């Protein structure tokens, strides 16, 4: 089995329901190639996190199938030690809630956990941990327990803990959520650098400015949990009708001086005041 | 930024092979158990909240159902014969069928708990060492009877008719009480049960504690499941039982800390919305004809079972 092939991940008619009742994904088809950078966008509750967790082999489709490098990822195949090792080595997942991801006594232990699991040697593991900490400017947090970190620091440590494993595919769930502007722009830079380095990057977000900055391919999830469009960022972001339909932008009524007017609005992409909208 | 990226991240991915490890993974008992427990809690709660609204019992006012539950549990406790208990079981079974609940799911649990907390607990009392009576099934014969402390061990040890009756009675009572409880729980959303408890003059402070517990057990079980997934995402080999225990211990500490913080936040949120000392629930909708009719029917059925 090879781990670096063109068609890296493939989802075929994947559906998922929570508790067997609440729909999260419906008939999703998606292909990811090596080196792709894809943003999965959709409103809250559209199924972005569920889709990413299926691609990380943490949940299994209720119907449909998910393939990694041509091998179906299932509870059964991930019981195979060889495949599990190959899959986890290749796919890293950063959770939306960093709190649940950090379980080691200190930041350094946290970052070292993955490399030690991969049995790459303690020296090499420590070298990686220090290098990643230096890149993310968190060396000073080395000996701190995770519960004594701020939200942004936790996110950085969570990303560092996954990067230290050097996965080929990086899945990031709402990476900029709840972060201050400085940390957000730092993350964007980091993601661009990783894309430049040839990593396969898949992010789940409803932050259209992030999609715009990364210039990723975009997969749009509708509120009824279907993948309604896959295309280039510029095509998707210019499709106002689609973005309105999936609730990623909205009509906004507000006052400018004495004039009250209505227009399509997103905090990042659209803020046009068209003459015909003026009242 | 690109300059700061460590060389190992820029290097082409290490080729991996499924041959680098052989065999099947065994999931440690603790890891599996904690995740299973969280998922059972969540699924149980979801089942509770999303139970079908189309059945007979789902349409009935929660106050009627709570009073029915207490009345029938009292009747089940008062009956002294197996046959009336069986009639009550059939009655509850028919109500469960009318409510379009999953018989297999409910009775799997009822029979399991009935077996554990009814049959197994009462089983020793079937022997003549504990319950005196006619031995119908001899088990062992000793050379002579023994007496020590308050116990008398007869020469012939066996199961008595009175013992069998006692075990059957206790098992039936447990099964009936469980069937009644599951019928109510699976047909009534939790918030309605809590409000219905007001009818029984349960103090509001107690009800608010139950409500908060219900909400936060659900939230914490979600956190536990997420933590389990987060660990799985970085596990590439089998964990030793010691490593699994260490992880569980660490996570228990985390949950404890998180619970304490959440508790403080919830209390602040309550104060922020005007909480002083009095807890108020909004009132019930008016009882309809169907509710009154059902209440009368269930009451008369209860009286019937009481006197047969």
A83 touches chain B (CB under 8 A): yes
Specify the pLDDT at position B243.
76
How far, in Å, are B20, B39, B116, B136, B155 from residue B163 at the CA level? 61, 40, 18, 10, 17
Specify the pLDDT at position A217.
92
Specify the pLDDT at position A266.
60
Contact A87, A93 (CB under 8 A): no
**A151 has pLDDT over 70:** yes
How far apart are the C-alpha atoms of B63 and B193, rounded to whole Å?
8
The full set of domain ranges for chain A reads 7-248
Average pLDDT of chain B is: 82
> If you ran DSSP here, which 8-state letter would residue A278 be given?
B
Specify the pLDDT at position A89.
87
Tens of pLDDT, residues B288-301? 899 999 999 999 99
- Nearest partner of B97 among B112, B107, B82, judged by Cα: B107
How far apart are the C-alpha atoms of A221 and A15, rounded to whole Å?
13
Chain A contact set for B220 (CB, 8 A)? none
C-beta atoms of A85 and B21 within 8 A: yes
Q: Give A218's pLDDT tier (boundaries 50, 70, 90).
A: very high
Beta-carbon contacts of B97 under 8 Å, excluding residues fewer than 6 positions away, are: B103
Specify the pLDDT at position B220.
78
- Put simply, the chain A residues between 203 and 262 with a CB less than 8 A from any chain B CB are none
Q: In the predicted model, what is the mean pLDDT of residues A195-209?
A: 89
Nearest C-alpha in B relative to A129: B6
C-beta atoms of B9 and A194 within 8 A: yes
Nearest C-alpha in B relative to A92: B233
A182 or A129: which leads in pLDDT? A129
How far, in Å, are A104, A114, A183 from residue B254 at the CA level? 11, 20, 26
Q: What dihedral angle (degrees, nearest 10) is formed by the CA atoms of B276, B277, B282, B283?
A: -150
The full set of domain ranges for chain B reads 28-46+56-233+276-307
C-beta atoms of B46 and A189 within 8 A: no
C-beta atoms of A21 and B42 within 8 A: no
C-beta atoms of B18 and A192 within 8 A: no
Specify the pLDDT at position B176.
95
Q: In the predicted model, what is the mean pLDDT of residues A124-146?
A: 90
Chain B contact set for A60 (CB, 8 A)? none
Q: How many CB pairs under 8 A join A and B?
A: 146
B22 or A14: which leads in pLDDT? A14
Specify the pLDDT at position A19.
75
Q: Give A25's pLDDT tier (boundaries 50, 70, 90).
A: very high
- Put simply, the chain A residues between 161 and 200 with a CB less than 8 A from any chain B CB are 161-163, 165-168, 186, 189-190, 192-194, 196-199
Shortest distance between the Cα of A248 and any Cα of chain B, in A, equals 26
Q: Give B75's pLDDT tier (boundaries 50, 70, 90).
A: very high
Nearest by CB to residue B233, choosing from A93, A104, A197, is A93
Per CATH, the number for A7-248 is 3.40.50.300
Specify the pLDDT at position B179.
95
Specify the pLDDT at position A209.
87
A104 or A161: which leads in pLDDT? A161
Chain B contact set for A165 (CB, 8 A)? 234
Candidates B28, B233, B257, B260, partner chain A, best to mutate (most A CBs within 10 A): B233
Chain A contact set for B24 (CB, 8 A)? 79-81
Candidates A84, A136, A162, A170, partner chain B, best to mutate (most B CBs within 10 A): A84
Q: Give B86's pLDDT tier (boundaries 50, 70, 90).
A: very high
**A109: how many CB neighbours lie within 10 A of its CB?**
18
Q: In the predicted model, what is the mean pLDDT of residues B56-66?
A: 88
Beta-carbon contacts of B158 under 8 Å, excluding residues fewer than 6 positions away, are: B127, B128, B135, B136, B137, B138, B139, B140
Nearest by CB to residue A100, choosing from B8, B23, B230, is B230
H or E segment to which residue A105 belongs = none
Q: Give B4's pLDDT tier (boundaries 50, 70, 90).
A: confident
For chain A, how long is the longest CA-to-CA vector? 69
This model of the complex carries an ipTM of 0.72
**Mapped to the 3 state alphabet, what secondary structure does chain B carry?**
CHHHCCHHHHCCCCCCCHHHCCCECCCCHHHHHHHHHHHHHHHHHHHHHCCCCCCCHHHCCHHHHHHHHHHHHHHHHHCCCHHHHHHHHHHHHHHHHHCCCCHHHHHHHHHHHHHHHHHHHHHHHHECCCCCCCEEEEEEECCCCEEECCEEECCEEEEEHHHHHHHHHHHHHHHHHHHHHHHHHHHCCHHHHHHHHHHHCCCHHHHHHHHHHHHHHHHHHHHHHHHHHHHHCCCCCCCCHHHHHHHHHHHHHHHHHHHHHHHHHHHHHHHHCCCCCCCCCCCCCCCCHHHHHHHHHHHHHHHHHHHC
**B104 has pLDDT over 60:** yes
């Amino acid at each position: 089995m090879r781990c670096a092939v063109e068609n890296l991940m493939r989802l075929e008619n994947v559906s998922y329901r929570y508790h067997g009742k609440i729909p999260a994904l419906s008939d999703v088809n998606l292909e990811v190639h090596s080196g792709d950078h894809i943003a999965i966008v959709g409103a809250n509750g559209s199924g972005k996190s569920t889709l990413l967790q299926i691609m990380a082999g943490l949940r299994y489709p209720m119907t449909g199938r998910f393939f990694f490098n041509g091998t179906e990822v299932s509870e059964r195949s991930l019981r195979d030690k060889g495949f599990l090792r190959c899959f986890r080595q290749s796919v890293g997942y950063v959770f939306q809630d960093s709190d649940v991801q950090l379980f080691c006594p200190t930041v350094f232990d946290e970052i070292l956990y993955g490399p030690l699991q991969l049995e790459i040697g303690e020296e090499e593991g420590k070298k990686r941990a220090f290098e990643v900490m230096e890149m993310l400017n968190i060396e000073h947090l080395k000996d701190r327990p995770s519960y004594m970190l701020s939200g942004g620091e936790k996110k950085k440590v969570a990303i560092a803990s996954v990067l230290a494993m050097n996965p080929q595919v990086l899945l990031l769930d709402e990476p900029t959520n709840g972060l201050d502007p400085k940390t957000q722009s730092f993350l964007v830079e980091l993601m661009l650098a990783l894309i430049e380095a040839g990593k396969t990057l898949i992010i789940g977000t409803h932050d259209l400015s992030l999609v715009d900055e990364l210039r990723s391919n975009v997969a749009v999830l509708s509120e009824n949990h279907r993948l309604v469009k896959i295309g280039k960022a510029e095509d998707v972001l210019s499709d106002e009708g689609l973005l309105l339909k999936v609730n990623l932008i909205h009509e906004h009524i507000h006052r400018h001086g004495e004039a009250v007017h209505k227009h399509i609005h997103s905090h990042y992409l659209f803020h046009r005041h068209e003459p015909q909208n003026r009242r | 930024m690109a300059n700061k990226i460590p060389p190992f991240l820029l290097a082409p991915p290490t080729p991996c092979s499924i041959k680098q490890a052989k065999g099947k993974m065994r999931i440690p008992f603790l890891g599996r158990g904690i995740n299973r427990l969280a998922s059972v809690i969540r699924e149980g709660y979801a089942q509770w909240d999303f139970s079908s609204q189309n059945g007979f019992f789902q349409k009935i006012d929660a106050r009627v159902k709570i009073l029915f539950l207490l009345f029938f549990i009292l009747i089940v406790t008062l009956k002294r014969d197996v046959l009336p208990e069986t009639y009550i079981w059939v009655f509850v079974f028919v109500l469960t069928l009318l409510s379009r609940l999953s018989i297999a799911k409910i009775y799997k649990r009822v029979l399991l708990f009935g077996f554990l907390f009814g049959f197994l607990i009462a089983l020793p009392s079937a022997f003549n060492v504990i319950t005196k009576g006619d031995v119908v099934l001899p088990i062992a014969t000793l050379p002579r009877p023994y007496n020590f402390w308050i116990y008398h061990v007869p020469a012939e040890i066996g199961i008595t008719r009175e013992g069998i009756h006692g075990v059957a009675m206790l098992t039936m009572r447990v099964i009936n009480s469980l069937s009644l409880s599951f019928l109510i729980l699976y047909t009534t959303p939790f918030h309605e049960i809590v409000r219905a408890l007001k009818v029984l003059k349960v103090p509001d402070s107690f009800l608010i504690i139950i409500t908060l517990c219900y909400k936060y057990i659900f939230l914490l079980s979600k956190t536990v499941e997420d933590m389990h997934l987060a660990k799985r995402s970085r596990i590439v080999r089998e964990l030793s039982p010691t490593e699994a225990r260490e992880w569980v211990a660490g996570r228990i500490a985390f949950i404890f800390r998180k619970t304490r913080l959440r508790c403080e936040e919830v209390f602040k949120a309550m104060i922020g919305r005007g909480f002083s000392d009095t807890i108020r629930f909004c009132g019930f909708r008016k009882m309809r004809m169907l509710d009154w009719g059902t209440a009368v029917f269930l009451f008369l059925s209860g009286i019937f079972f009481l006197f047969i």
